[in-house]
Amino acid sequence: MSDTSSRIAIVTGASGGIGKAVAERLAADGLSVLVHYSGNAATAAETVAAITAAGGKATAFGGDVADEDAMGRLFQHAIDTFGGVDVVVNSAGIMPLAPVVDTDLDTFDRIQRTNVRGTFVVSQLAARTVRPGGAIINFSTSIMKLQMPTYGAYAMSKGAVEGLTLILAREMRGKDITVNAVAPGPTATPLFFEGKPQEVIDHIAGLNPMQRLGTPQDIAEVTAFLAGPGRWVNGQVLYTNGGAA
């Protein structure tokens, strides 16, 4: 595990926000990284450029995480390009917010398709592909403990991700592959800022004992730990939120 130069990571949703920070952090540890994107090839290319400019190895590949054929091609691209898969990070997700009473069911279905089916599709492929000594890392949310209004559909999707994570960890018995979830608190990403007035952002930041929002780099550090040295952490949800919950 000390030699990361031959290890390969797939990071979904890596064109921006937390996924981008995770991809760059894993590359800094010496992993070759497949940068997945859904709709923005340009920002994925920027992530790849940042990694290669820092001396790392990266390639970009697009596709819908909920489409098993597209994700099959993504995994094959990682194998063809780098030789295998050792780490899979499921950071792709969407977070439309509304009170339960006002949530449009088409929006609800879209959240579940990306966050639940997408995580399941990628985790299933990871379980079939990741080499011994590897790691599967899913993304939940600290909203599961904070229980803030308007996050009902999103929290429901992440509850499913936690259930999948804990069970898959047990199903990987004997394969030397860890399965964990990272549960960020409020983090300074475009996904978090979208639709929030500044006074709401300031209020949420002020609730944290650390008196700030998390940064994508804060979350990337924990993810890199699980991807590398944290081999005795398995079947866990790590709440990564500065003490907010």
* pLDDT tens track for 136-186: 999 999 999 999 999 999 999 999 999 999 999 999 999 999 999 999 999
Q: Determine the pLDDT at residue 193.
A: 87
Distance CA 100, CA 20 (A): 31
Q: Above 80 in pLDDT, residue 194?
A: yes
Q: How much is the average pLDDT of 112-133?
A: 98
List beta partners, residue 178: 135
Q: Determine the pLDDT at residue 1.
A: 43
Burial call 205-222: b when 16+ CB within 10 Å, e when fewer: beebeeeebbebebbbeb
The catalytic site residues sit at 154
Give all domains of the chain, ordered by start, each with its CATH number.
8-189+216-239 (3.40.50.720)
Q: Determine the pLDDT at residue 5.
A: 59
Distance CA 119, CA 131 (A): 19
- Predicted TM-score of the model (pTM): 0.95
Supply the mean pLDDT for the chain: 95
pLDDT per residue as tens digits for the range 25-65: 999 999 999 999 998 999 999 999 999 999 999 999 999 99
For the chain, give me the number of helices (H) and strands (E)? 10, 7
Q: Above 50 in pLDDT, residue 187?
A: yes
Q: Above 60 in pLDDT, residue 71?
A: yes
Looking at the chain, the whole-number percentage of residues with pLDDT higher than 90 is 90
Q: Determine the pLDDT at residue 6.
A: 87
Q: Determine the pLDDT at residue 137.
A: 98
3-state secondary structure of 55: coil
